[in-house]
């Protein structure tokens, strides 16, 4: 499965429901889509000081189930990535941005999906359950 394109479709669905003109540096989903575009068009894998660029003051409402689907896809993408992980890699920045739509702070992902689900559950049990369900149903 092409998790990146699947993720992009999910995020575009979220954007269609938004009635505002998107300003990516103020919108978590717009920021995430800009990261995907940079990755696809320019093969940018790491963004210098990327964590500082995440628009963590976004107050839009995002459907938990749709975000869970997006996070499940980014976890699968992370799992199949063969590059060195950094906190400023595109995949990590996307994951953190998506988490911030639902959680107070991003969750560290050390490569173990079960530990990751447990850590999310500490902040939001329902979200952890949704991500887990979506994750196991992805090819």
Residue 38 has pLDDT above 90, yes or no: no
**Does residue 94 carry a pLDDT above 90?**
yes
The candidate with the shortest Cα–Cα distance to 18, out of 72, 70, 85, 66, is 66
139 pLDDT higher than 80: no
Domain boundaries, the chain: 3-137
CA separation (Å) from 18 to 11, 14, 24, 32, 76? 11, 7, 13, 15, 26
Decide if pLDDT at 125 tops 90.
Answer: yes
pTM, two decimals, is 0.91
């Amino acid at each position: 499965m092409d998790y990146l394109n699947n993720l992009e479709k999910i995020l575009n669905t979220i954007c269609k429901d938004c009635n505002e003109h998107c300003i990516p540096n103020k919108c978590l989903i717009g920021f995430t889509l800009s990261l995907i575009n940079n990755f696809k068009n320019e093969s940018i894998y790491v963004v210098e000081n990327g964590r500082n660029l995440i628009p963590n003051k976004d107050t839009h409402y995002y459907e938990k189930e749709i975000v869970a689907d997006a996070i499940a896809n980014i976890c699968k993408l992370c799992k199949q990535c063969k590059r060195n992980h950094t906190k400023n890699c595109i995949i990590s920045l996307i994951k953190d941005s998506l988490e911030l739509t639902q959680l107070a702070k991003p969750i560290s992902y050390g490569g173990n999906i079960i530990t990751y689900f447990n850590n999310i559950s500490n902040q939001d049990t329902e979200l952890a359950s949704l991500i887990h369900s979506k994750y196991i149903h992805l090819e």
